[in-house]
Amino acid sequence: MPGSKLHRRGLMLVLSSPSGAGKSTIARALLEREDELFMSISMTTRPPRPGEKEGRDYFFITEDEYTQKVENGELLEHARVFSNYYGTPRTLVEQHLMAGEDVLIDIDWQGTQQLRDSARYDVISIFILPPSYDELEQRLMMRGQDSEEVIRKRMAKASDEMSHWPEYDYVIVNDVIEESIENLQSILKAERLRRTRRLGLDEFVNSIRSRN
């Protein structure tokens, strides 16, 4: 059958948001609902925290190993966060994409820019916004994890992060969590059907036309 020759290349679904906008909740729900979607596992030079496992939460490497991987182009994006380094491994992501599987990547706007530079046509970027400033502040306070000073700093950082929303392909305002998840699923479904990702489409169409 001609249709058996039609397959697709996977994509990188990049999510960014200020802290407290609900990105992690949306990401977990999407991973549970989409069988062909896998979470990217980053490399880091920081030591494992209690309960973290190698290859599940992170790939833990030394600074020398990290430097070597950067020099060899083995990381799609990389950044220093405080005193530690993080990066997205190129080979593992490429394996998923070649198999027609999609990869969910949780990074900030700077990492998203790097991904665009290294793999523009594979990247679909979504920025998640809170419904309002007051709602974002309330969500951070309800966590009960941070002092008022820390919350103020997070809000200031959130304001800077939100200024980068025009750099993204899509924007979701996370007012109702279920609607946000459904909207993200719709984006994923549409992008999977994009013509440029349908490998073998030329041969498929020609096989149909040749029967006339």
Q: Please, what is the average pLDDT of the chain?
A: 92
10 domain-assigned:
yes
95 domain-assigned:
no
164 domain-assigned:
yes
How many Å is the Cα radius of gyration of the chain?
19
Return the pLDDT at 20.
86
Return the pLDDT at 212.
66
Q: Token pair 């706007």 is at which residue?
A: 109
Contacting residues for 3 by C-beta, under 8 A, at least 6 apart: 204
CATH of the domain at 10: 3.40.50.300
Note down the domain range covering 153.
2-40+101-209
Average pLDDT over residues 3-9: 72
58 domain-assigned:
no
Number of domains comprising the chain: 1
Average pLDDT over residues 141-153: 79
Return the pLDDT at 174.
96
Q: Residue 39 — pLDDT band, cuts 50, 70, 90? A: very high
Average pLDDT over residues 174-198: 96
Separation of alpha carbons 195 and 193, rounded Å? 6
Return the pLDDT at 4.
47
80 domain-assigned:
no
Q: Does 66 or 204 have the greater pLDDT score?
A: 66
Q: pLDDT tens, 162-185?
A: 999 999 999 999 999 999 999 999
Through-space distance between the first and last CA atoms of the chain, rounded to whole angstroms: 16
Strands (E) in 18-134, as ranges, are 37-39, 43-44, 59-60, 75-81, 84-89, 102-106, 123-129
Q: pLDDT tens, 63-90?
A: 999 999 999 999 999 999 888 999 999 9
Reported pTM:
0.88
The beta-carbon contacts of 52-60 under 8 Å, at least 24 apart in sequence, are: 59/89
151 domain-assigned:
yes
Q: Token pair 């979504």 is at which residue?
A: 126
Dihedral of the alpha carbons of 60, 66, 68, 71, in degrees to the nearest 10? 140
